[in-house]
A and B are shown apart, each in its own frame.
Chain A
């Protein structure tokens, strides 16, 4: 037991940090790609402010293809691409590439869903007031959908925690790697349990942060449910 505890203290802080690093860096990249993608997907749709059927269908296809890959396969399929970008396909930094690619279409879709919830009449109103497209996106659509976008992003980050553990199984580092190397291969139940507990706590914290942010914004706007 003492040895296990010692091992846990040696391994887990670093690997927990690696998981957090992977998840948050890839979440930021995924948001940087997914948010504009979701916005373009929304406004180019039929009946929206910048209707462009061809572009819309193209992006729609890309997002669907991106989302239909199981993460395990996507990770392997992207190895050459990851090598090209990071120089290696092993380690925490390398995992960020497939994680980003997996999460970006997910975020795009969630952003699109959030933006489509906005009352059409509100958009109509700001159009007749003479707003241009950029103003409609930045001053109206994004602020109006903000609580919903945050809720969606929270879900994506939690998904990323799951994916990052999977990345760890194939040499991506982080808590997933600890679980497979020590918990599974060396039958160390103690390490396994601690790893799982850490993942659970991580998910809880992310969910709590996301929910309270959504709640605070909604409350400020006087909306009780969101």
Chain B
């Protein structure tokens, strides 16, 4: 691509950054006006568009403030307004919430969601925060060392991660299983992670399992992930019984379309 074409293309892509990268020499309104200025938009049109954007991001009262007088969340709102100034088709968010606290992160994400739905702007979000992906993404791609190792809808990938990196990413610190649970391999005791998707979450599978087969189930850990409109339940259990009854129990799980995975230390 020629330099000129590249510059023209860049004006069609909005971008926001982890550290906001606002111009310290310009106030909020002038920061938002910058992309319009470099595209040769008339002064009146700039003013009109800036007002519109200030309203969109909820910063009407701050138009005269300088970046150093704003909070992190406010700075990112300015960043979003600036990125949207030229009516981009795509909004790139490079770790846009990584420098923000959880509450502000939620606010910024709901603003992004609003931008996506109201303005029909495609948002590409680069993040290491899985919570962020769960909250607002439709599709996800896991990238490792510059390669896409897994991709699909958020529900698909989060409910059934296949690549090791994805699994590691999804296993957040609070869901870690203490190492002492990984006892020496024994045919009588198995450590299992079960995933319940959609309807299966409603069925009392574990109690069926215990009653139907001669096994004991010890629940170690359980949680539910809400992915937009879809829920995925995860349960980590210890299954104890004779090798045969365990085998039967496992095939029962398969019958019920419950994904399970044996965990090893």
Which residues of A are interface residues toward B (Cβ below 8 A)? 119, 121-122, 124-132, 135, 139-140, 143-144, 146, 220-223
Contacts and interface: CB of A to CB of B under 8 A. Distances in A.
Contacts of B23: 122, 126, 140, 143-144
Given A135-B38, A139-B38, A143-B23, A221 B17 contact: no
Given A143-B23, A143-B25, A144-B24, A129 B8 contact: no
Contacts of B37: 139
Q: Closest 5 CB pairs between A and B?
A: A125-B21, A143-B25, A130-B10, A222-B68, A130-B11
Size category, B interface:
20 to 34
Contacts of B25: 140, 143-144, 146, 221
B24 A129 contact: no
Contacts of A223: 24, 68
A140 B35 CA distance: 12
Contact of A222 (B11, B17, B21, B66): B66
17 contacts: A122-B21, A122-B24, A125-B15, A127-B10, A129-B10, A129-B15, A130-B9, A130-B35, A131-B7, A135-B38, A140-B23, A140-B25, A143-B25, A144-B25, A221-B24, A222-B65, A223-B24
Contacts, number: 62
B15 A221 contact: no
A9 to B, nearest CB: 46
Interface string B48-65: 000000000000000001
Given A128-B10, A129-B38, A139-B38, 8 more contacts: A119-B21, A121-B17, A122-B23, A127-B10, A130-B9, A131-B38, A143-B25, A223-B68
B7 A130 contact: yes
Interface string B1-44: 00000011111010101010111111000000011011100000
Contact of A130 (B19, B39, B68): B39
A128 B11 CA distance: 8
Contacts of B22: 122
A135 to B, nearest CB: 5
B204 to A, nearest CB: 53
Contacts of B35: 129-130
B68 to A, nearest CB: 4
B179 to A, nearest CB: 40
B10 A221 contact: no
Given A144-B25, A221-B66, A121 B10 contact: no
B110 interface: no
Nearest to A124: B21
A127 B9 CA distance: 12
B165 interface: no
